């Protein structure tokens, strides 16, 4: 049976430590934009931790919400791409084929989550970061879009490994970098087609919601949150 990769993010566990952001940068060869470019709105994080404040001091609360590509089943970025660079894989991943991208940026405008990033310049790494590039991930040149892949390189290598050993993939056998680095274990990754996987179990939770599910994008990322999160009550 084909896999259907999905993620669950428990907002009640997230501490906003941003370890996922750092891990993602390291794993996926994401060049840092630098302070000047970041101030111009060109910071490039495939996963970001959004901070929202609720209430007024002294009863203020800060909420964290890691937002990455939601790997939508019904992705608005896919049909708008004139060159099939934004493409739906048979495993339901929302792939970005870098070599096909000509940089119309239509996908980035169509994405309601603003998780697609443009390479405004050719990537550069401050020394010695250039020595830690991941050989499994291609670097992206100027003018093309990039975004979270659910660490497709890890998915592929695990699948190939399992195929070589003539066995099924085990739940939790591998994880994307963000999930692996999440200290409070707020993020869980797995196969939704396996009803016994943890991600399947958690996605059936009564706390489960989709980010802007009302837009009909059918995201493959579930957020777990207590009702108070939506009602804005302090607990």
Partner 1 sequence: MEKTSEQIRADLLRPLFSTGPGYWTAVAIAASMVLAGVFAFCYQVYNGIGVWGLNSPVFWAFDITNFVFWIGISHAGTLISAILRLCNAGWRRPVTRCAEAITVFALSIGAIVPICHLGRPWLFYWMVPYPSERHIWPNFRSPLAWDFIAISTYLTGSTLFLFLPIIPDCAAARDLTRGWRRKLYSLLSLGWQGTPRQWHRLETAMHIMAIAIIPVAVSVHTIVSWDFAMTPVPMWHSTIFGPYFVVGAIFSGVAALILAMALLRKFLRLDEYLQPIHFDHLGKLLLTMSLLWVYFTFAERLTTWYGNDPSEMAVFWSSIRQQFAPLFWTMVVCNFIIPFPFLAIKKLRTITGTVIASTTIVAGMWIERFLIIVPSLEHKYLPYSWGTYRPTWVEITLMVAGFGMMALLYLLFSKLVPMISMWELEAGVRKAPAVPRHVVSLKPRPATGIAESEPFATDLSR
Interface with partner 1 by CB under 8 A: which residues? Answer: 37, 40-43, 48, 50-52, 65, 67, 76, 79-84, 100-106, 108-110, 112-114, 117-122, 141-145, 212, 215, 217
Instruction: Pick the closer one to partner 1 by CB: 37 or 193.
Output: 37
In the bound complex, what is the minimum distance in angstroms from residue 66's beta carbon to partner 1? 11
Instruction: Pick the closer one to partner 1 by CB: 115 or 177.
Output: 115
Instruction: Pick the closer one to partner 1 by CB: 40 or 226.
Output: 40
Q: Encode burial over 173-195: b for 16+ CB neighbours within 10 A, e otherwise.
A: ebbbbbbbbbeeebbbbbbbebe
User: What is the β-pairing status of strands 145-146 and 94-96?
Assistant: unpaired
The answer for residues whose C-beta is within 8 angstroms of residue 101's C-beta and 6 or more apart is: 81, 83, 85, 143, 144, 145
In the bound complex, what is the minimum distance in angstroms from residue 43's beta carbon to partner 1? 7
In the bound complex, what is the minimum distance in angstroms from residue 121's beta carbon to partner 1? 4
Instruction: Pick the closer one to partner 1 by CB: 38 or 160.
Output: 38
CA dist., res. 175 & res. 125, Å (int): 25
Phi, psi for residue 114 in degrees, rounded to 5: 50, 50
In 72-143, where does DSSP find H-type helix? 77-80, 106-110
Instruction: Pick the closer one to partner 1 by CB: 83 or 157.
Output: 83
CA dist., res. 83 & res. 100, Å (int): 6
Query: Can you name the residues that pair with 208 across neighbouring β-strands?
Result: 224
């Amino acid at each position: 049976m084909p896999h259907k990769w999905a993620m669950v993010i428990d907002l009640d566990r997230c501490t906003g430590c941003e370890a996922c952001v750092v891990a993602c940068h390291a794993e996926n060869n994401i060049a840092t934009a630098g302070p000047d470019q970041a101030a111009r709105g060109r910071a490039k994080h495939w996963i970001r931790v959004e901070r929202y404040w609720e209430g007024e001091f002294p009863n203020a609360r800060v909420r964290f919400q890691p937002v990455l590509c939601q790997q939508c089943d019904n992705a608005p970025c896919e049909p708008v791409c004139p060159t099939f660079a934004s493409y739906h894989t048979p495993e339901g991943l929302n792939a970005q084929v870098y070599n096909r991208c000509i940089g119309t940026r239509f996908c980035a405008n169509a994405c309601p989550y603003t998780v697609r990033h443009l390479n405004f310049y050719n990537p550069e790494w401050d020394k010695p970061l250039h020595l830690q590039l991941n050989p499994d991930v291609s670097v992206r040149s100027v003018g093309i879009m990039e975004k979270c892949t659910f660490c497709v390189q890890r998915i592929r290598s695990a699948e190939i490994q399992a195929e070589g050993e003539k066995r099924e993939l085990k739940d939790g056998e591998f994880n994307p970098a963000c999930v692996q680095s999440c200290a409070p274990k707020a993020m869980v990754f797995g196969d939704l087609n396996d009803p016994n996987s943890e991600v399947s179990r958690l996605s059936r939770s009564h706390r489960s919601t989709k980010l802007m599910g009302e837009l009909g994008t059918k995201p493959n990322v579930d957020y777990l949150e207590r009702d108070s999160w939506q009602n804005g009550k302090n607990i």
